[in-house]
Structure 1
Amino acid sequence: MDAVKANGIVLHVEDRGPRDAPALVFINSVGTDFRIWDAVVPQFSDYRTLRYDKRGHGLSTSKGGDSIDAHAADLAALLDACGIGRATVVGLSIGGMIALGLTRLRPDLVDRLVLCDTAHRIGTAEAWQARIAAVEAGGVASIAEATMERWFSADFRARQPDLVAVARTMLSRTPVDGYIRACAALRDADLTAAARAVAVPTLCLCGTADIATTPELVRSLAALIPGARYRDIPGVAHIPCVEAPELLAGLIRDFIDEDRHG
């Protein structure tokens, strides 16, 4: 178990792989911790991989920070603390927005972007406020069943009920304050300008069964980013790193290895 103090909070991190290898950073979604990358990270043993629980999630501490800018500042401070000067950043859902926020805050730290099941703006302020009200009234567990239907395709829920049960427990144990602050960050975030200003190679990915950030929405993000590519992840919903980790890892590797191996 490793911890790094960054931007005034303590972040739970895992930093593995050769220190002189290219760095690959993973950012998780709302209501999850870095364990959602468990089946992806081992497929990049030739890279230095960094994953962390964002503030208010998993084992990281929480202290305010209900904005994408605050989360981006956390990540910038973490990369500085770990001595990572430049990295490929892989962000899922809110993690993708944090990655975009990092390119705006510290473009020097970003070599490439992989934006997965995310967008420049997700949902409406009214929808996020309703989610916040539901969690305030009944806790995170009260929205768990509906969330599983967004996170995973019907086929995966039928085939892998044990993995879905574990994911449901992870969500339900997310601190209420951390979950609500992340929802508030999503409610208020508009990364349109940040997307248009991206100046690094970018791959946008989306599960074709994602009803939270639909393929159409993710394509609209790719259209904003100069030179960005878009790829479908067939039959998969909002959390492809759990539902189809080998497929996701293959798409990431094909993209990031292009320049590395010519």
Structure 2
Amino acid sequence: MQTVQLGDTRIHYALTGPEDGTPVVFANSLGTDFRLWDKILPMLPDTLRILRFDKRGHGLSDTPKGPYSMGALITDTERLMDHLGLKDTIFVGLSIGGMIAQGLAAKRLDLVRAMVLSNTAAKIGTRDMWAERIGNVEKAGLSDIVDPTMDRWFSKPFHRTEEFPAWRNMFLRTPAEGWTGCAAAISGTDFMSATSGLRLPTLAIAGSEDGSTPPDLVFETADLIPGSQKHLIRNAGHLPCVEQPEEYARVLTDFLTAQGA
């Protein structure tokens, strides 16, 4: 169990792999902890130095009083990487994790030399949409939104698997204040201008059945960065690393290898 106090928040993380390995950072989605990546890790090269972490309000990290700003989430990540001495990383961010990737790359290019933007965008949803969801959770808890969220997250066949209930439970066990705090951060974020100024190797991954960040939205963000690559994973929703881990790991490995990992 690895934790570190970063300002007002203690962050839970895992740093694995050879100390001289290529550093890769994984940042997960709203309503999940860093177990999101468990299925793909054994399929990646064993030469990687991998950092996973629970953002504030999620997993085993602290849940400070919200709402949170995207700047605070980016600063948490920046401080964690500085604490661990990680630079020139390949940053893999899914959903809100991909927003953190974009903001961190714009702020500290010394920390990010390439990035994977998975099921994410420079701007996700509208303020009114997020305000409604936040209000519902504040009144009735995450149980009020869990089923429509699962419908957006996973393809219909995955709902019938033995694994699906565990992901539903992970979402429900996220602290409500952590979820609303991070939802507020997404609501207030528009990185269209910042991301359009980035010039670094980028791979965008989308899921064909993603109801949260549809492929067109993901690829529109990729188009802001000259030379970016795009990959569509079919029969997968918002979390393709869960539904199609073999394809996800293969595409990610190809990109990592191209970056010299």
TM-score bracket, normalised by the shorter chain, equals over 0.9
Q: What corresponds to 1:103 in structure 2?
A: 105
Q: What corresponds to 2:78 in structure 1?
A: 76
| CA offsets 1:140-165 (integer angstroms, 9 cap, x no match) | 1221111111111012212x1x2110
Is 1:244 matched with 2:244?
A: yes
Is 1:216 matched with 2:213?
A: no
Check conservation: 2:67, 2:184, Cα contact below 8 A: no
Please give the alpha-carbon distance, in whole angstroms, between the structure 2 residues aligned to 1:121 and 1:7: 27
- RMSD (CA atoms): 1.2
AA in 2 matched with 1:50: L
| CA offsets 1:175-213 (integer angstroms, 9 cap, x no match) | 111100111011110011121111210001100111110
Q: What corresponds to 1:50 in structure 2?
A: 51
| CA offsets 1:10-41 (integer angstroms, 9 cap, x no match) | 11101100010101110010010001111112
Q: What corresponds to 1:133 in structure 2?
A: 135
Aligned residues: 259
| CA offsets 1:83-132 (integer angstroms, 9 cap, x no match) | 11221000000100000010122111001100000000001111100000
TM-score (norm. length: structure 1): 0.96
Please give the alpha-carbon distance, in whole angstroms, between the structure 1 residues aligned to 2:220 and 2:143: 32
AA in 2 matched with 1:52: F
Shift of 1:226: 1.8
Shift of 1:65: 6.2
Q: Which runs of 5+ in 2 are unaligned?
A: none
AA in 2 matched with 1:117: N
Shift of 1:7: 3.8
Shift of 1:259: 3.5
CA change 1:250–1:139 in 2 (3 A) is same
AA in 1 matched with 2:207: G
Q: Which runs of 5+ in 1 are unaligned?
A: none
Q: Please identify, of 65-74 and 249-258, the stretch whose mean Cα deviation from structure 2 is larger.
A: 65-74
Shift of 1:62: 2.4
Is 1:67 matched with 2:69?
A: yes
Check conservation: 1:206, 1:231, Cα contact below 8 A: yes
Superposed structure 1 runs of 4+ greater than 6 Å apart = none
Check conservation: 1:7, 1:73, Cα contact below 8 A: no
Check conservation: 2:63, 2:175, Cα contact below 8 A: no
Structure with greater helix share of residues: 1
Check conservation: 1:73, 1:105, Cα contact below 8 A: no
Please give the alpha-carbon distance, in whole angstroms, between the structure 2 residues aligned to 1:108 and 1:72: 14
Check conservation: 2:67, 2:180, Cα contact below 8 A: no
Check conservation: 1:141, 1:171, Cα contact below 8 A: no
Shift of 1:42: 2.3
The percentage of aligned residue pairs carrying the same residue is 42
Q: Please identify, of 21-30 and 4-13, the stretch whose mean Cα deviation from structure 2 is larger.
A: 4-13
